[in-house]
Amino acid sequence: MTASLHGSRVAFLVAPEGVEQVELTAPWRAVGEAGGNAELVSVSSGPVQAFEHLDKADTFTVDRLVDEVGAADYAGLVLPGGVANPDMLRRHEAAVRFVGDFFRESKPVAAICHAPWMLIEADVVRGRRLTSYPSLATDLRNAGAHWTDEQVVVDSGLVTSRSPADLEAFCAKLVEEIAEGPHRLRSRQTERTG
């Protein structure tokens, strides 16, 4: 990767369980390799239980609680998927507010697979072009998004991808967007890659 994050802090927001492990670890590694500092943020302290599909995988230690941090503390936000992960998170007001704050501050956000459910809950998808796991397409369209079936979609700092199969492109784009810094929403202007 050519972009550098020069010690920038990047938040990874996850629920206490249900995050798809590779959707956490691959972007985490990409942020670290680009010189960034990844921090695991959750709604409760203690270990986070990751999964490989439906099977328990590794556990990860929470660095910060979501109600103790804000978008101002980070250069960008990564939302890993897993079906249960965003479904749990969207029921926590502090987590939803945290996501929304990144958009209010025009900071880059990267969401993969089922993670765009959090974007719907934060009411930040209307008018935006994005992708997700295919089963979320109707939910996203109903929330006002322009859903497309592409490997990775970038819209004014919002990076989205469909599944773990897209991780290489997703990781490269999220590092690039975070390195670029805040992105003001451009009227009907999006970047397409895929």
Of 6, 53, 92, 113, catalytic: 113
In a domain, 193, yes or no: no
Residue 171 among the catalytic residues: no
In this prediction, residue 185 carries a pLDDT of 67
In a domain, 133, yes or no: yes
pLDDT band at residue 1 under the 50/70/90 scheme: very low
In a domain, 20, yes or no: yes
Of 114, 146, 171, 183, catalytic: 114
Q: What CATH number corresponds to the domain at position 57?
A: 3.40.50.880
CA separation for the pair 23, 167 (Å, rounded): 7
In a domain, 122, yes or no: yes
112-126 confidence digits (pLDDT tens): 999 999 999 999 999
CA separation for the pair 31, 20 (Å, rounded): 17
CB 5 within 8 A of CB 31: yes
Compute how many other C-beta atoms are within 10 angstroms of the C-beta atom of residue 93: 12
CA separation for the pair 151, 157 (Å, rounded): 16
In a domain, 185, yes or no: no
Q: Which domain holds residue 72?
A: 9-180
Residue 53 among the catalytic residues: no
CA separation for the pair 152, 26 (Å, rounded): 15
In a domain, 27, yes or no: yes
In a domain, 187, yes or no: no
In this prediction, residue 2 carries a pLDDT of 63
Number of domains in the chain: 1
Checking if the pLDDT of 73 tops 90, the result is yes
In a domain, 47, yes or no: yes
